Each structure stands twice: as structure tokens, then as C-alpha cells.
Structure 1
């Protein structure tokens, strides 16, 4: 029976396969079906693990230069297909097309970085001892599982895949069920462009992640898991087995503060805060969730921020001029509305937005039925509100006033999360002090986009463990072996 390429989203042991069932993929802006994916179960997942285990000895023995060449070929192919990949991402994720293209191009840079990191992941020779030399070797940890999110379905996938392959680990990708098409296409491009052997890179799409991932976690041959998603699910992965340990990288939720000091460049800070908050409709683990503004500049800063927010254009991500797309689903919209209602009940004022968004009557997109919400700014926020302790994951920005630097940093740190924080100011000593004292894995100083391939990405506290990216990223896929020699 010929394979239907529209549903052959399972790459297992070098073959594209369909499953016994399929599921629909929806455009979150229109709720229309934009594709179908194979709905795999535990059996397919374990078959993929069999293939990964079989491929591991040869892939770990492949030279770092050969692996790097394959990854660079994948990066070049991603760049060549950037337009198509961006259109796929917008169709199933909803983000504006220019954001999707930027994410795709950033993914190619991550793959290039991973290629070079694999060539630098060496060990060392220790100082001569009485009995002889000592060696520290780095060895790939083994077959890995990459569980990727829907909000950044290209960059998160490629970051994990690139580092795993560069280290010598075969990897099975499980894309989010909301965005399986972009994940499938990226896996295809990387596997084909790099000429990867069967079993080295595989993909499993499913609407039953608990069953599929559970079967893999129960198998001791799976030696590494890298997960990006909610803190609740991340903690469940840590608790998933009580008979054996495995390496687990977690990039979880956030509750990012931004601090505007009294010596900040206010127009630049307003532009940066708007960008860091409303990209991807606020559905980002590093989106600004709490904005602290010094009392002496609050009255000047707020109109600048509101001007930026007013310039945002809500609509379908594929339409020219759109800068804010829909939320991924109505569960996300319900949470946004609950947070806004709670804040208003507790004394906050809606300075901008505050409602569901509908397209203008009679327009070309009058039928949009997705979970849209206006870009929203709340003033008069305080620390008792739900939005002050829970991650909203939507286009709502509460603004708080503070009186001194110590107060701002203390309030910013009062959270169980520690992924990203932002600080805006001019005096280098104060910025350095703030960056040092903020308990977050990523601190952006006057920078709305603190994600680069050369910087490690990850959080403290309940925002995760281990790092992706930077020279530290490949460590998550390598074991350290000490060799003591007596000659």
C-alpha cells in the first residue's frame, strides 16, 4: 500500500510511515484543518528506540567532523526552505509570518553552532601523577528523546536535535501535537540533507504523549530526555521512574520580570518591553510577565509603552501587517481572561485592551474564529493578584511601581520560577549589580531578545535544569569518564 505523504509523519529506522490512525492539525486563527499527522502509539515509539539503539555504536564512532558536515548541510537546507517552513509554522501555530521566518533562520544558526560544538567537545589530560597520567574523556550519553513545544516548534526542536547529533547521540523527536507539521518537515530536511543513517534521527507524532513517552521512559535503553514545556509535566518526568536514573534536561515555565530603572532610555525601554512581551502573542516562556517601573519615571514611561501597544495589529499571521496572532487554543484564552478579571477585581485598571478580539465586520478575514485577545496593559497591579504569581502565557502586561533598586530586585525574585529577567538602565555599575542579584538563568540588559546560539539557555528553580545552547549545551548529551593510568 503506497504511503500517503500527507500523513507519513513517522520517521522510524529510515522509513517514513503512517500510523493506524491520523489526527487533524488546525489553524488556530481560523480553526480550519491545515493538515493531518499520523497518530503513533507506544509500539511505534519502541520500534524507534530499537532503531536508535542499533544506530548508536556506528554514530558515536563517526568522527566529529563528519557529524558537523551533516549538520551544516541541514542548516543550509533549512535556509533554502525558509519561506516554506515559515508558512507551515504560521498555519499551525498562528504567529505572524515575519516571526516564523525569524525563528526558522535562527534555527539554522543553532544547527551551525551545534556542528562546531561537536568538534570542540574534547576531554583533557591531567597533570602527571606518581603512577602515570590521567585522562578525562567525553562520551555520548546514548539514545535521546527530544520533546518539543508548540510555541517555538522550530527553534526548540533544532536546538535539541543539533546538540544531540553533534555529541554522537541518536535522537527521537516528539513534536507537540498542535504543531506536528513543522517538526516533521524539519526532521525530514535535516535527515535528508545530512545523509543521516537510519535510526540516527527519528520522529514520532501523536495525540497520546503520555502513553508514548511513558513507554519510552520505562525502557532503560533510553539514556537521555530533553523536554521543553510546563513545569507540571517537567516534574512528572523527573518522577517517572523509581528504578533507574537517566539524564534529563528541562526547560520549563517562567514568570519573567522586567525592571525599568530611573536612568533608563525610556523610549528604547518601551520598545524593548513591548517586543519582549507581545512576540508570539505573549506565548513565550521568556515573555515579560511583570513590569516594574521606577516611580519617578512612571508617568513619562507609561504613554510611551501604550503608544507601542497601540501600534500592534491583531489578525491572521499570514496577513501583511499582522504583528499579533491568536492564542494556540481557547484554554489559553480562558486563562488570560481569568487573570485579567482577577486583577481588575483586586484594583487594577485596564490601560489598553482587556477584551477578546474579533475582526472588523465585512473584512476579508471577518470569519476568523480563533482565540484572539487584544494586547493588554494593566496598571495599578500589586503582588496579591493571580497574574503576579502565575504565568499568563498571553498578551497581558501588568505594570507595578517601585521606589528603589533593592525593592525591585526583591519583588522580581519572589517567584518559584527563574528563567529570564530584563533590566533597563544606563549606569553600568547598577546594571551589573542587578544582573548579578537577579535569580534567573537568563538576564537581558537593555535587550529584548536574549536568545542566541552562543549563549546557554535555561533556568533556575522551577524553571528547569541543565542548559541548551552555548558551550554548555552539549554537556547535557555527554558523559564524563575519568581514566587513571599506571604505566
Structure 2
């Protein structure tokens, strides 16, 4: 039996030493051995900081996003072979889809969001500028740039593919290379996924490396340039967080750890309601998917005291009807084994502690179960790691063990409550969790619960009849939303869309003149030079247009007749535009004033170049603010300046954001906004 190889410094490597055996979760058969004895860990880190950094830095956000999409499409074609490998971990096909398809879905999501929400550049401007001098000659601007080190991910055994890709995607999009250190029991699944990624040839050199085995000195070689993303037990997270290089050396550390997640059944969600049924389905799903080995599983079912017995009966009936425990390669099996006999022993120990603390087993058993074997027969599998779904009931809702001991398997505890406020307090006893659900169709209950528990959780789900079918579920983190939680859950934060990309970047305040900030950021700032010479900027394709290209219009007078005509043609007869006496009584207006939208419409007429040209479409306005009212007899002019240019990698056009400023005859700012247009990359003429 050979060791699972590592992928280091652009090549596959495996030691000659005898490794730790890893076994099939259902049969106990040895699948592989795991060792990294003699691996050049410092060399891998240096390779990431040099080769990986250079390769990723040569690409923009959009180019990296396209590679994520390409990789997702490639891995979609290799799912079946990954499912086959995953089955050895005790995962059913459904479990493997959550892990493998879920990971591929993360790549798709970041591939899309990277192109829609980030510039086609390597620097992100964060928020508006801060004016630091009276004359506007000195500004401050926050920017994000990628970290110059390596993102190290230390993953748990339960999601060897999703856990890797959900950390890899934002790091890659940020431009930071990744080193993956999977958990030993399922390292061979992660290795199979990395092998497929390497064989795709899509990623730049040094973007991804794999350490297939224990690497206890890994953090010894990291410094302030690097970051560590950990998923696993709280005890291990605390040990890593206490490492000198984290405490004193500036290594950024994010932890996602133990979590006694709660699901609260609202008092209105009585038996027979859609909310009660949805709650039962959710609880059974979280008990059985991945054999309950999910950091987001429901560990505490907090239900009205009067509904404890009906809930237990409903869950027991659904488990009996829907759940078949056995080898995931056998037809009809819906729940597989725990990842190993060692993990099963750990779960049994924790359940024993819960029972000793007052928990009563009301569904399931701790005895070796009869299961469906790979050949379709039924029998015992003493070399496997099977366990029936187990439901406990705590008569004492405040029993400390119910809120502090996690059995990381198909185990949940039912706890009763008498008031909604008590349910909120019970959920908070978990000491910080990844996710909580409240099943209710009562808006007041939902508001009370969310306001009470939100600060204790990273994510909350309101489950009712309106979203029960479309909901992604209690236990399913999605790449668009934050995954993590305070307190016991680790205090970290992953995913959350582009937020997680910024976790791999440094936010820096840059101070300087408008001209210098424009040069550094690639975005025009008020006070920087404009170019008013040459062709109208709407006659310039992206190949010709430059930041600061501008057009300034002449003044146009606004008359009372213009205001009245606009009011009549649009139906906007708000009194400020039609009633002199009422308008003058308004503290903001001197009398009748022009509609803001009239001014914006006229501004478009003042700056537009009407003939067909590179500007293909106007697709919106942003940040529109009306500053100074315009009275009949006043005049307005507009200055339009190319503020930000974003070419699209896959299209023959890109976006241009224009800074638009409307002034009156006294050079007071009337309105300020951004105009968004689509502009062709090239155009036959510039006349």
C-alpha cells in the first residue's frame, strides 16, 4: 500500500516511509497510507511566495475569475470518479454531491462574482475618498491589495472537496497562492480532486499545493505575509491560535470550529402546519446527511414544551420511513457510515456523557446496527463505522451538557421551552454557533428570535411555508453568505461573497494629491487633471479612451415654462414644482424649483454625442445626489469625466463609469452622480 502523494513545488511527491493506514469507513479495508516524512515544507511555502505570487500577480481579478469558471466546468466532467473515491469515506451519493458539487458550485459563484463585482485590475478602491484639505488638493483613499504570502488551509475530514474549494476560490481570486493540508481520514479524496485540478492545466504554476499528511511544523515557517484558515475542533484551533507565529509573528488566523447549532420551532408551528413539517424534514436531514458529521448540523432542537412529544413521534416516523443505513455503494442506502471506527467511538463517548447528564435516548440505539451491506444483504458490519440516528430528550432545558457537549455524528437533542424569550436564551447557551433556524410563520416571533440570537450566530434561517421548498437549508453554507460564527464556533468568517476575497487582501489608506491617487488606483478623482481636448469622449473606443477624458457643456437656462411642461408631461406635479406659495414654505426651497430628474435629463442632452459610436448603451446611474435647488431663471452646465474603465475579458465591450457634475451659473454644485455606459473595445472611426 503506497502513501497518498503530495503535490509540492509543481510536482507529485511521496515518501518511502511506512505511513498511517486509512480505512474504508464501511468495510474497514485499508484504502491508503498517509505520511509526509521528509517533505520540504519550507520549500513549498517559498515556492508559493515566489513562483505562485508572480504567476497570480500577472493576472487581473477578471482573468482569475475566468479560470475559476473554467476549472469548475472541467471538474464537472470528473465528478463521477470523485464520487467513487468519496464513497470509501462512508458518504452516500447525496453526501458526495453536497461535498463535490458544492465545491464546484463555489468555483462557479466566485467566477461570476469576481467579474461582476471586482475591477479588471489588481487593486480595489474601497469606498469614497476622504477630503483632507480645504482646497481638495490632499485626499485619503482606502484600497485593497493582495497579501504577498500564502494562504494555508487546514481542513476537517467531513468535506475534503468543498472544504478545500471554498477556501481556495476566494484566495485564488484575490491572487494569493494556496497550500492545502487535508485531514488524514479523507486525504485521499482531496488528493484525487487536486490531481484532477493539476491535470486540467488551468491554474498558473504555484497557485495550489497539497500536503497529504500531518505537517505539525507548518505554521513554524509562516509570517505576517501569510494566513491560515482552519476547520476542525476548538481544542486544535486554540492550540494553533496560540502558536508564537500567530500571537507574535502576525500570521492571520481564521478558525471555524465546534458548534452546537440550534433549530427553534416557533410556538405557532404546531403539528399539521407547514412550518412543523418543514422543521421535521430539516431535523432529519441534518441528522443523516454525511451521517451527521457536519459543523452546521442541528445539535439542539429547541421546541415548545407542548410539542416535544409530537416532534419526537414525527421525527421517529420519518427516520423509519426514509432512512436506510448501510454501505453507500449498496442500492437504496440513504445514510452511510461515520468516517472511521475511531470517530464512531468518539461519538459514542459523547453520547454517553449526554446520557449521564440527563439526556434520555428517545430514538435510535447505541448498539451495533444491522445495516445494508455492499452486496445488498442485511447484517452486522463490525469493521465499519455505522451508527443509527439518535435523538435524545433533556427534561431539564438548562442542563449544561445539552449546550456544551457535541456528539459529531447523527445525534441531536430535543429541549423544551415555555416562552419565545426562553427559546432565545437557550439558543445563546451554545456559546456561539455557526447557524440557527427558526421555523415560524409569525413575523413577531421571527423578529424577536432573530434580534435575540443574531449576535450569537454567523448565519440564521427563517423557515416557513413560503421558503420551505426554495430554501438551501439549515446546514448548507452558500458562497454568497458568511460562513462562520462567534465564540465556540471559532470567531472566524469564510465565504460571504467578495468579503472573503478581501480577507486575503490588505486594506491600506493611501494619502496624496488627486493626480497621484488617480495614477495609483486607475480611477479618476476630483481635482486630478482632465483632458478636454480632442474628440468628444463618446467618440473614443476603450482602446482610445483614457481616465480623465472629459467634456464640459455650455450653460442652459431653466425657465418656469420648462418646469411646468416637465410636470405636466411626466405627471410629477409635486407642489415644489407647481405651487409657489407652498414651495416657499418648504425649508429647503426658495419657491418653485426644477425637478431633479429634469436636470439629470437635460444634463444628458448637454453631454451626449448623438451619432452612432463606441458608446453602445447607458445602463444606469449611481450615487445620485441633489445638492442645490434650481429656480426658474437659473442655468445649469455639466462636466462629464471618464472615471473608471473596466474592459470585459470575454466581450467586445466594457464598462465605463463617468463622473458627472452639474453646476449652476454661480459654479455651485447642483447634482453629482456616476453615469454607467457600455463602450466598444474598438470602433472603425473616431471622427
TM-score, normalising length: structure 1: 0.91
Superposition map of 1:431-450 within 5 A? 431-438=446-453, 439-446=456-463, 447-450=473-476
Residue matched to 2:216: 210
Match for residue 487 of structure 2 among 461, 468, 486? 461
Deviations 1:441-476 (A, max 9, x none): 111222434421211111111212332112221121
Deviations 1:139-165 (A, max 9, x none): 111211111111111111001111111
Separation of aligned partners in 2, 1:336 and 1:381: 22
Match for residue 256 of structure 1 among 245, 258, 261? 261
Residue matched to 2:662: none
State the SS of the aligned residue for 1:71: helix
Residue matched to 1:473: 500
Residue matched to 2:392: 378
- Seen in structure 2, the aligned counterparts of structure 1 residues 336 and 67 have a Cα distance that, compared at 3 Å, is same
The Cα shift of 1:339 comes to 3.6
- Seen in structure 2, the aligned counterparts of structure 1 residues 40 and 407 have a Cα distance that, compared at 3 Å, is same
Residue matched to 1:171: 178
Residue matched to 1:230: 233
Separation of aligned partners in 2, 1:65 and 1:361: 49
8 Å Cα contact 1:30/1:367 also seen in 2? no
- The structure with more radius of gyration: 2
- Seen in structure 2, the aligned counterparts of structure 1 residues 19 and 367 have a Cα distance that, compared at 3 Å, is farther
The structure showing larger relative contact order (alpha-carbon pairs under 8 Å, at least 6 residues apart) is 1
The Cα shift of 1:259 comes to 1.0
8 Å Cα contact 2:179/2:208 also seen in 1? yes
Deviations 1:168-219 (A, max 9, x none): 001111111111122112223334435223222111111x3324x2xx4343
Separation of aligned partners in 2, 1:384 and 1:190: 48
8 Å Cα contact 1:262/1:296 also seen in 2? no
8 Å Cα contact 2:266/2:445 also seen in 1? no
Superposition map of 1:403-414 within 5 A? 403-414=418-429
2:12 aligned with 1:16, yes or no? yes
8 Å Cα contact 1:316/1:326 also seen in 2? yes
Residue matched to 1:270: 280
State the SS of the aligned residue for 1:163: helix
Deviations 1:14-57 (A, max 9, x none): 111222335333111111022345x2146422121121011213
8 Å Cα contact 1:145/1:222 also seen in 2? no
Match for residue 483 of structure 1 among 510, 517, 535? 510
The Cα shift of 1:410 comes to 0.3
State the SS of the aligned residue for 1:468: strand
8 Å Cα contact 1:68/1:118 also seen in 2? yes
The Cα shift of 1:385 comes to 5.7
Deviations 1:258-292 (A, max 9, x none): 11112122122111111123221111111111111
The Cα shift of 1:127 comes to 4.3
8 Å Cα contact 1:147/1:227 also seen in 2? yes
Deviations 1:285-330 (A, max 9, x none): 1111111110233333321111122231111122222222222233
8 Å Cα contact 2:4/2:191 also seen in 1? no
Separation of aligned partners in 1, 2:3 and 2:372: 36
The Cα shift of 1:221 comes to 6.8
Separation of aligned partners in 2, 1:73 and 1:150: 27
2:42 aligned with 1:35, yes or no? no
- Seen in structure 2, the aligned counterparts of structure 1 residues 346 and 188 have a Cα distance that, compared at 3 Å, is closer
Residue matched to 2:141: 135
Match for residue 359 of structure 1 among 361, 370, 375? 370
Separation of aligned partners in 2, 1:175 and 1:53: 20
8 Å Cα contact 1:255/1:289 also seen in 2? yes
Out of 228-237 and 39-48, give the one that drifted further: 39-48
8 Å Cα contact 1:340/1:354 also seen in 2? no
8 Å Cα contact 1:20/1:40 also seen in 2? no
Separation of aligned partners in 2, 1:346 and 1:181: 38
TM-score, normalising length: structure 2: 0.66
Out of 342-351 and 226-235, give the one that drifted further: 342-351
Separation of aligned partners in 2, 1:435 and 1:191: 44
Residue matched to 1:337: 348
Residue matched to 1:243: 248
Match for residue 441 of structure 2 among 411, 426, 429? 426
Separation of aligned partners in 2, 1:306 and 1:221: 52
Residue matched to 2:78: 81
Separation of aligned partners in 1, 2:450 and 2:91: 31
Residue matched to 2:22: 25
The Cα shift of 1:115 comes to 2.5
- Seen in structure 2, the aligned counterparts of structure 1 residues 294 and 199 have a Cα distance that, compared at 3 Å, is same
Separation of aligned partners in 1, 2:103 and 2:38: 29
Match for residue 388 of structure 1 among 403, 414, 418? 403
Residue matched to 1:67: 64
Indicate the structure with greater strand content: 2
Match for residue 180 of structure 1 among 187, 205, 209? 187
Deviations 1:228-253 (A, max 9, x none): 11111111121101431121111111
State the SS of the aligned residue for 1:441: strand
Residue matched to 2:431: 416
8 Å Cα contact 2:55/2:204 also seen in 1? no
Separation of aligned partners in 1, 2:97 and 2:73: 15
8 Å Cα contact 2:55/2:205 also seen in 1? no
8 Å Cα contact 1:247/1:476 also seen in 2? no
Separation of aligned partners in 2, 1:62 and 1:303: 57
| Corresponding residue pairs, total | 477
